[in-house]
Amino acid sequence: MNATNEYEEQFGRILDLLEQHEPRRLSISMIARTLGMSRPSIAKYLAVLSAIGSVSFERFGRSKLYRRTTRIPPAELFESLPNATVILDGDLQISMVNRRFKTMLNIRQERNLAGIPIFDLDFPVFSEPVIQQNIERFSWSETGLETMQITDEWTDRVYLVEFAAIVSHAGPGVMVSIRDITALKKAETALKDSEQKVATLFETVPSGIIIFTADGTILDANPAALRILGLRSFGQFSAASIFTLACVTGTIEALIAKGRETETEIACNFDRMKQEQVPTVKSGVVYFDVVFTPIRRETGGPPDEFAILFKDITKDRREREELIFRETRYRGFFEDTCNGVLVVEPHGGDGDIIKDLNRVAVETLRVRREDVIGRKILDVFPDLGTAANRELERKVLATGKPAFLPPIRYRNNENLWIRHYLFRIPSGELASFMIDVSEELQDETGWSPGRGEQDPRSAARSI
């Protein structure tokens, strides 16, 4: 019996044995005992049968359990392997290649490669000395690397190369499988770069970041979080939960229950944290601007981890409260003073815009606030436009020194005379206290618009 017939007979015996025990799977040791063969020999035969699709296996611990496969023809299975695969004989000449192998090497599909020495192929992988030495070790039944990664320096392509010693119908040989993993390596590099950027951001961002679970267990905190909370190390968080941060019980629990991104404010009582055995060096109540977000799972489903990004806004909050208080105090003074107050935005006299006026000014000028605010003052009172008025305004704006204006008549056909104390306010606008002197001037001159006579002081007072 020649070697080829012997191999074919052994292949047949193994396949017949597996078929007899269907659907049960058999281990290498069980097949070897049943057929009276050595375990290494059975392993090599099974490697070939597995490569060509005649058998399949499942892992059970460290063992492989085999069964026969007959539904897919071996040749078609070999052609459909996802990796470029070549089977070499004992002389390292090509016995079989699949379609993917020819495509990777840019070889015409109809070309027959059988009998060509593998190292004669013009492909960078097989030109590498380490690849050649490893293939030779497998062909000599020596120990070699089952997997190697090679980079083509000319094209920057990265290949994953796998090796296996096999026994084919023609005798011992080597199977080499090649996969282009360039895209995978680039993705891994990009992921590592992204992870490094995230880690750098986590460590250096000035806002505090805390990651925690739904039950309040704190998983991680960045240096800024420790600094803001007055802690020296993450270990000082060991006795705390995320719920300790909020003064109002249930605040963070409510955010977790809603399970969506939220921006809010949280008050934190450092003295309460000390009572909860968190050794902060700070005291009192502070306010945090907080961005809460669930950490989504890649596999979907409800999140079980969450994060908050927070910063101390206590100073800003107090300044805002002080500003509101001042605004309230100013608005109270502005509205309740016994004099009319008018505020204008200067634009060269003729273009001055009315910015605000108080209740007394509204009553004095007999206008509605919503009708005049934002309008040019000359559009509302066209009789005010005089050169003298603009000159006084320029002086006050230029010097910052207040000035008393002579009585001004707002409407030529009415006995409405207003005396102004004009001054510049820090915003750059002009404000004036208004005093209605219409009756005083009428008493002095005896003039009233109903008599049809010209006002004797109109030339001096009407600006």
Taking the complete model, does pTM exceed 0.75, yes or no? no
Average pLDDT, the chain: 82
Domain membership flag for residue 324: no
List beta partners, residue 356: 343
Residues 226 and 130 in one domain: no
For position 288, what pLDDT does the model report?
A: 92
Q: Residue 31: CA atoms inside 13 Å, Cβ hemisphere, count?
A: 31
Where in 126-238 does DSSP place strands (E)? Answer: 147-151, 158-168, 171-180, 208-213, 218-221
- Which position has the higher pLDDT, 463 or 319? 319
CA distance to 2, 99, 166, 399, per residue, from 48 (Å): 19, 18, 6, 101
Band of the pLDDT at 449, cuts 50, 70, 90? very low
Domain membership flag for residue 393: yes
Number of H helices and E strands in the chain, helices first, is: 18, 18
Domain membership flag for residue 197: no
Domain membership flag for residue 7: yes
Residues 68 and 86 in one domain: no
Residues 87 and 158 in one domain: yes
- Which position has the higher pLDDT, 324 or 352? 352
For position 5, what pLDDT does the model report?
A: 64
Residues 347 and 453 in one domain: yes
Cis check for the bond before 23: say yes or no (omega within 30 of 0): yes
User: Looking at residue 56, which CATH number applies to its domain?
Assistant: 1.10.10.10
Residues 451 and 343 in one domain: yes
- Residue 129 tokens read as 């000395």
Residues 311 and 354 in one domain: no
Q: Pick from 48, 49, 13, 47: which is nearest to 31 by CA? A: 13
- How does strand 218-221 pair with strand 353-357? unpaired
Residues 60 and 88 in one domain: no
The C-alpha angle 197, 203, 204, rounded to 5 degrees, equals 90
For helices 39-51 and 28-35, angle between their N-to-C axes, nearest 10 degrees: 120
Q: Pick from 423, 415, 408: which is nearest to 463 by CA? A: 408
Q: Is 333 exposed, middle or buried (0-12, 13-18, 19+ CB in 10 A)?
A: exposed
For position 404, what pLDDT does the model report?
A: 84
- Compute the residue count for the chain: 463
Phi then psi for residue 267, to 5 deg, are: -90, 135
Torsion angle defined by CA atoms of residues 94, 100, 103 and 105, in that order, rounded to the nearest 10 degrees:
-40
pLDDT tens digit sequence for 37-75 = 888 888 888 888 877 767 888 888 878 899 887 544 566
Distance from C-alpha of 174 to C-alpha of 139, rounded to nearest angstrom: 6
Domain membership flag for residue 259: yes
- The CA-to-CA distance between both ends of the chain, in Å, stands at 131
Residues 343 and 438 in one domain: yes
- Residue 31 near residue 10, CB atoms below 8 Å: no
Domain membership flag for residue 289: yes
Residues 106 and 215 in one domain: no
Distance from C-alpha of 120 to C-alpha of 130, rounded to nearest angstrom: 16
What is the greatest pairwise CA distance in the chain? 148
For position 32, what pLDDT does the model report?
A: 92
Distance from C-alpha of 342 to C-alpha of 353, rounded to nearest angstrom: 11
Task: Determine which helix (DSSP H) or strand (DSSP E) holds 408, and give its type and residue range.
Answer: strand 403-409
Q: Pick from 429, 438, 432, 434: which is nearest to 458 by CA? A: 438
- Give the domain-ending residue among 183, 214, 231: 183
Band of the pLDDT at 306, cuts 50, 70, 90? very high
- Give the domain-ending residue among 28, 55, 72: 72
- Residue 221 near residue 210, CB atoms below 8 Å: yes
Residue 397 CB: number of other CB atoms within 10 A? 14
Residues 161 and 219 in one domain: no
For 89, which DSSP code?
-
- Give the domain-ending residue among 20, 47, 72: 72
Task: Determine which helix (DSSP H) or strand (DSSP E) holds 330, and give its type and residue range.
Answer: helix 314-336
pLDDT tens digit sequence for 213-263 = 999 999 999 999 999 999 988 888 766 789 988 888 889 999 999 989 999
Domain of residue 30 covers: 3-72
- Which position has the higher pLDDT, 277 or 324? 277
Tally of domains in the chain: 4
- Which position has the higher pLDDT, 234 or 322? 234
Q: Where are the alpha helices (DSSP H) in 52-181?
A: 74-79, 99-104, 124-127, 129-139
Residue 371 CB: number of other CB atoms within 10 A? 11
Domain membership flag for residue 188: no
User: Looking at residue 439, which CATH number applies to its domain?
Assistant: 3.30.450.20
Phi then psi for residue 264, to 5 deg, are: -155, 180
Residues 215 and 304 in one domain: yes
For position 177, what pLDDT does the model report?
A: 92
Strand order in the sheet with 158-168: 94-97, 84-88, 171-180, 158-168, 147-151
Residues 455 and 359 in one domain: yes
Task: Answer whether residue 161 shows pLDDT above 70.
Answer: yes
For position 460, what pLDDT does the model report?
A: 37
Domain membership flag for residue 195: no
Handedness of CA 360, 363, 368, 373 (dihedral sign): negative
